Structure 1
Amino acid sequence: MHETLLVLHVTAGTVGLLLGPVWLVARLRGHRGRPAATGYQTAVALVAATGGVLALVSPGLAWLLPVAVLSEGLAVTGALARRRAWRRWPALQPRLLGGSYIALTTGVLVAETGSPVAWVLPALLGQLPIAVAKRRLAVAAA
């Protein structure tokens, strides 16, 4: 069962990493990007679910359970911010969805390198595209 969960976890993470930019490009071109958005949200949900189970059944990894919950929370809340037209959604959505994508990227880098830098680098590098998206949405909303 552990191997099956791990394969599903890695596959869903890969799909999420591929669909994130597809969704972004669709939005930049003025499309809703519904298939990519649905695929991304599903992939992140699967990563969070399988990651949570793997964290619970793997000795010493239970501390990763909040990371799984937070990642899913960022993705869902980011999608809802715009759909429900929350106050200040143009500032919130890029942070939330960007945070979910940064979480996926961090997971890959930490798993592959084990380096402590992998915990920080994606968050630092992700700030520029998040800032650009926030500015773009603020201008469009004005």
Structure 2
Amino acid sequence: MPDALLALHVLAGTAGLVLGPGWLLARWRHRGGAGMAAGYQVAVAGVALSGAALAVAVPGLAWLCAVAVLTQGLAVAGALARRRGWRTWRTLQPHLLGGSYAALLTGALVAGTGSPVWWVVPAVVAQVPIAVAKRRLHALPA
């Protein structure tokens, strides 16, 4: 069972890492991207659920359940911000969705390398595309 769960976790994570930028590019090109958005949300949910299950199964890693919940929360809140017309959605959405993507990337890099530096680098580097997205969203007509 753990091998199948790990395979699901890797598959969902890979899908999220591919669909995230695809969704962003579709939105920037005014092509909607609803399918990619839904796929990204499903992928993040799959990563969060399988990651939490794996964390509980390995002694000493239960604290990663909080990371799974936070990652899922960021993705869902980011998707809802615009759809629900939150007053500050143009500022919040890039941080929320960018944060969920940075969490996926962090997990892949930490798992792949084991280096603790990857706990910080994706969050720092993500600030550039988040700032660009915020600038683009604030330039849209109200």
Q: 2:92 matched to which residue of 1? A: 92
Deviation at residue 103 of structure 1 after TM alignment = 0.3
Look up the SS of the partner of 1:62 in the other structure: coil
Q: 1:7 matched to which residue of 2? A: 7
Q: How does 1:50-89 map to 2 (within 5 A)?
A: 50-89=50-89
Look up the SS of the partner of 2:140 in the other structure: helix
Matched residue count: 142
Q: Which runs of 4+ in 1 moved over 4 A?
A: none
Seen in structure 2, the aligned counterparts of structure 1 residues 86 and 48 have a Cα distance that, compared at 3 Å, is same
Deviation at residue 60 of structure 1 after TM alignment = 1.0
2:10 aligned with 1:33: no
> C-alpha distance in 1, partners of 2:102/2:10?
16
> C-alpha distance in 1, partners of 2:64/2:88?
30
2:48 aligned with 1:44: no
2:27 aligned with 1:20: no
Letter in 2 for 1:52: A
Letter in 1 for 2:21: P
Unaligned 5+ runs, structure 2: none
Look up the SS of the partner of 1:55 in the other structure: helix
Matched-pair identity in %: 65
TM-score (norm 1): 0.98
Q: Deviations for 1:49-101, whole angstroms, at most 9, x for unmatched residues?
A: 00011111111110100000000000000000000010110000000000000
Q: 1:122 matched to which residue of 2? A: 122
Q: 2:107 matched to which residue of 1? A: 107
> C-alpha distance in 2, partners of 1:130/1:37?
17
> C-alpha distance in 2, partners of 1:37/1:48?
16
Alpha-carbon RMSD? 0.7
Q: 2:135 matched to which residue of 1? A: 135
Q: Deviations for 1:2-48, whole angstroms, at most 9, x for unmatched residues?
A: 00100000000000000011101110011210110000000000000
